[in-house]
Structure formats: structure tokens, C-alpha cells
Amino acid sequence: MSRDRLLAFAQLLRIPNVFTAFADIALGACAAAAVLPPMPAAFWLGYVVLALASGCLYLAGMVWNDVFDLAEDKKARAFRPLPSGRVRVGTAVAIGLSLLAAGLGLAFAAGLPGRVEWNHEPLAYAIGIAVCVLVYDGGLKRTPLGPLAMASCRFLNVLFGLSLIPEAALDTEYRVHLAGVVGVYIVGVTWFARTEEGASRKRDLALAACVIALSLLFALVLRAKLYAATGPSKPLAALGTLAFPYLLVLFGFLIGRPAARAIGDPTSQRVQRAVKRFVLGLVALDAVLATMFVGLPGLVVLLLLPPAIVVGKWVYST
């Protein structure tokens, strides 16, 4: 396969972004390491399978986005793989279907390792993600509900990463709150990015940035709840690191600078630069959230950033 052909498929899949899906699963693995006793290797193999499943579902979403947007892209974004003819529509559909099937199959398999009985939760969440992806790409993204639909995909992906943890080890309340932090963040990011290729209004960008800031506040509330938790059913009081609030502030500063520039001068170039920082910033957000459970070692999730940044130099991510 030629380099140009390979680049076309990489652009169709938006390869740099898949590392953000892996980061959600890594966050789940960190939570599992914190609340579970030492587990056999087969259990952690389940997380590898879970990460592959999440990646397949995410990449499927990227492909279906371009398939559904073909008519619009022919007018406004003719350089993309499908309207430019570098990738055939039939090929893209086949890839999209194959990735969805692979994601669901891997999710089924993820419920098998390290258990006496099959765990149905990974498959259930994978089906939910697939449905949300198709509904969002199929047209909901063009409605006011678009940011919520996209956030639902991420919300479910975080729960997907927590699905191997028994309910007795991590209460539903904490699972939903953790997934909600990422979900609210994505509401803000999607809102910020809605007009990234055209004229953006300062007011809309500012409101979207406020939603992103709200997600960070939501994370602080979760940390306070975990710190206050006591009793045998909530063995979370001693977890995490006192550096968490400072790490969260640092993260806010890193994503806030390009956001402020875009709000001050909402050109498409500045808005797209901010959106790219937000998207790749998901890896950093997951890493910071992981420190709530395993302390500073949770920052190992940041190792997913370098490959995303390197690949992002030659493959667009928005």
C-alpha cells in the first residue's frame, strides 16, 4: 500500500484520537487496581481486550461520521478521503461495519477472562456506544442535542472501562460520577467545536468553555466524596494523592490558554487549535482522574499522549 493510500485511511479513521479512547479504559484499569485485591493475569488481559474493543468502536465512529457527511464534505471539505475519491464509499462502509462488529465481538470476549461466569456488562456498554455513535453520526449532531449525544458516547466509554470491576468493589454512584466528569467535559468540547470551520461567536465559545470548567469542578466534588467515604463497602478514603487539585488546575491552565485565545479572536484557525488541544487533552484528563485512585502513578496514562501527538502531526484530528 502506497504512503498516500495509507495516509488517506489514517485520515478517515482520525488515528490520533483513538488514544483518547484507550485512555478511558486505562482510567478504568487504575480504578480497578485501587479497589480490587491482587488479580490474576487473566483479569488484566480483559482490560487489553477492552481497550481494543473501545478503539474499534471509536474508529468506527470516525468512519461513519465521514460516510454520513459525504454530501456536505463534497461542498465544504473536498480534501477529505471520501469526497476526494482517495477512499471509496463502499470501502468506508465495509470498514465501518467491520470495526463495529470487531468492537462488539471484543467486548463479548472481555467479559470472559478471570471469571467463572461470563460478565455481560462490557457487551451491554459496547452496544450502547455503537447505538450512540450511529445516532450521533446519522444526524443528531446537527441538532441542539448533538453535544449531549457525543457526551453519551464518552460517558458510556468510561463506564465500559469500569465494567470489569464488581459492583461490590466500586459503587454505581462513583462510577456514574466519574463518567459524568468526562461526559460534561465532552459537552463543552463539542459545543466549542460546532462552528470550528466557520465563524464562531464569542458568546458561544465562552459558554462552552464554562461547561468545560464545570466538568473540572465536578471532578473536585468526586474527589471530596471519595475522600469522605468510609466503611468496608467504600474502601476509598485512603486512595489518591493530595496533589490532585493542583494537577487539575494545571490541566485547566493547559487547555485554558488556547481556549482564551480562541474566545478573544474566534478565527477558525484558533478555534480548531483549541479543539485539538481539548481532544488530546482527554488523555491528560483521564490521567489526572486516575490519580484520584492510585495516586501519582496514575500519570502513567500520559504515555498515551506522545504517540497521539506524533501521529497528529501528519493526520488531522478534528
How many angstroms separate the CA atoms of 78 and 55, rounded?
Answer: 27
CA end-to-end span of the chain, whole Å? 25
pLDDT of residue 318: 64
Distant-in-sequence, close-in-space partners of 11: CB < 8 Å, separation ≥ 6? 80, 81, 315, 316
**Do 148 and 136 touch, CB atoms closer than 8 A?**
no
SS3 content of the chain, % helix, strand, coil (to 5): 75, 0, 25
How many angstroms separate the CA atoms of 191 and 205, rounded?
Answer: 8
How many angstroms separate the CA atoms of 79 and 269, rounded?
Answer: 17
pLDDT of residue 184: 97
Nearest to 148 by CA among 185, 94, 101, 197: 185
CA distances from 316 to 242, 255, 273 (A): 37, 18, 11
pLDDT of residue 2: 77
pLDDT of residue 231: 46
Q: What is the DSSP letter of 201?
A: P
CA distances from 227 to 147, 198, 236, 245 (A): 31, 44, 7, 13
pTM of the model: 0.92
C-alpha cell at position 188 = 463543552
**Do 160 and 25 touch, CB atoms closer than 8 A?**
yes
pLDDT in tens, the chain (318 residues): 678 888 889 999 999 999 999 999 999 999 999 888 888 888 899 999 999 999 999 999 999 999 999 988 888 888 899 999 999 999 999 999 999 999 999 999 998 876 668 889 999 999 999 999 999 999 888 888 888 999 999 999 999 999 999 988 888 999 999 999 999 999 999 999 887 666 678 899 999 999 999 999 999 999 888 877 644 445 555 567 788 999 999 999 999 999 999 999 888 889 889 998 999 899 999 999 999 999 999 999 999 999 998 888 887 766
pLDDT of residue 243: 87
How many angstroms separate the CA atoms of 181 and 248, rounded?
Answer: 12
